[in-house]
Amino acid sequence: MDPQLTEVNQFLGRFTAAMTRRDFTNCDSLLVQLKVLLTKFPSLPPSFQKTPNAVQELSIAREIYEHAVVLSVKNEDQDAFERDFHQLKPYYTDTRDIIPPSSQEYQILGLNLLRLLVQNRIAEFHTELELLSSSALENPCIKHAVELEQSFMEGAYNRVLSARQSVPNETYVYFMDLLAKTVRDEIAACSEKAYAYLSITDAKRILMFSSDQELTNYVTQEHIEWEIKNGSVFFQKTKESSPCKEIPSLQLINQTLSYARELERIV
């Protein structure tokens, strides 16, 4: 066996051991070394040289980047997630005919969809979605993300929240928690427009707060214009278009003059 491959394998062994110990700082340093070692493999993207070790090299590189993505979720580092995912993606798209598909593929793709949803990058979410085959859409990990997006668009927020209980994998929990925060802001924005007022108990339930204190804190921090009195939260109504009392003469004169000027040019 190629000495470089053996070396990478040893490192990977230590890395997975550290992952199971949940020793993430150690994982980080090992991962950096692994990535440096990977640069020596000639068969990896973008060069794709057809070396005799290509299959082993590609599969091990893919495994390392899969671990890197999962590790970034554990470290709650979204930027690292994005970087690692983009490094991993060519292994899913461009090496299909060289190495067998990974068992982790859909889980990771689903995670990425969820991340885009959390960051409210809906356009990219749909672009990624187009890349998936119809059989991939049936996969529980992908389906989870797709259904979340739909409920989110429709406004069925309680469905989004109850989806947290049915996550297909524990790594999804981190993003689901982030999503809950986004959902709360959405609900607050909708309630503001839809209700004239809400009793404090109802507002607490709708906005998912466990105590009155949390609700008051939220109101003072995020929506200072809401009023809390007589045991209810009053939302400020937006100004409605009131019947016009007088003719806006100056504006009308200006407009008519500009029509005249334009017509002059035509005739």
Partner 1 sequence: MGQERDVEMKEVADISNSDEHSSPAPVSKTIPTVQSLKEIVSMIEVGAYSKEVRRIARAVRLTIGIRLKITTSVILSFLSTTLQPGSEAHARLTSYLPKVDEKGNTVDLAEFPPQGSSKSPPEVEIYCYLLCLIYLIDQKCYSQAKACSTAGITRIKNMNRRTVDVLASKLYFYYSLSYEHTNSLSEIRGNLLSLHRMATLHHDELGQETLLNLLLRNYLHYNLYDQAEKLRSKAPRFEAHSNQQFCRYLFYLGKIRTIQLEYTDAKESLLQASRKAPAAARGFKIMCNKWAVIVRLLLGEIPERTIFMQNGMKNALVPYFELTNAVRIGDLELFRTVTEKCSNVFSKDGTHNLIVRLRYNVIRTGLRNISISYSRISLIDVAKKLRLESDNPVADAESIVAKAIRDGAIDATLDHTNGWMVSKETGDIYSTNEPQLAFNSRIAFCLNMHNEAVRALRFPPNSQKDKESAENRRERQQQEQELAKHLAEEEDDEF
Do the Cβ atoms of 44 and 38 come closer than 8 Å? yes
Relative to beta strand 227-229, strand 197-199 is unpaired
Q: How far apart are CA 182 and CA 116, in angstroms?
A: 12
42 is an interface residue for partner 1 by CB under 8 A: no
Residues 132-151 that bind partner 1 (CB under 8 A): 134, 146, 150
Instruction: Fill in the per-residue mask, 214 to 243: x = in contact with partner 1 (CB under 8 A), - = not in contact.
Output: ---------------------------xxx
266 is an interface residue for partner 1 by CB under 8 A: yes
122 is an interface residue for partner 1 by CB under 8 A: yes
Indicate the residue among 82 and 186 with the shorter CB distance to partner 1.
186
Residues near 147 by beta carbon (within 8 Å), at least 6 away in sequence: 163
Q: What is the CA radius of gyration of the chain?
A: 27
Do the Cβ atoms of 200 and 233 come closer than 8 Å? yes
100 is an interface residue for partner 1 by CB under 8 A: no
Task: Give the DSSP letter string of 43-68.
Answer: TSTTT----TTHHHHHHHHHHHHHHH
Residues 177-196 that bind partner 1 (CB under 8 A): 186-187, 189-196
156 is an interface residue for partner 1 by CB under 8 A: yes
**CB count in 10 Å sphere of residue 31:** 24
253 is an interface residue for partner 1 by CB under 8 A: no
Count the site residues for partner 1 by CB under 8 A.
Answer: 44
Q: List interacting residues with partner 1 (CB under 8 A).
A: 122-124, 126-127, 129-131, 134, 146, 150, 153-159, 162, 186-187, 189-196, 198-199, 202, 206, 241-244, 248, 252, 255, 259, 262, 265-266
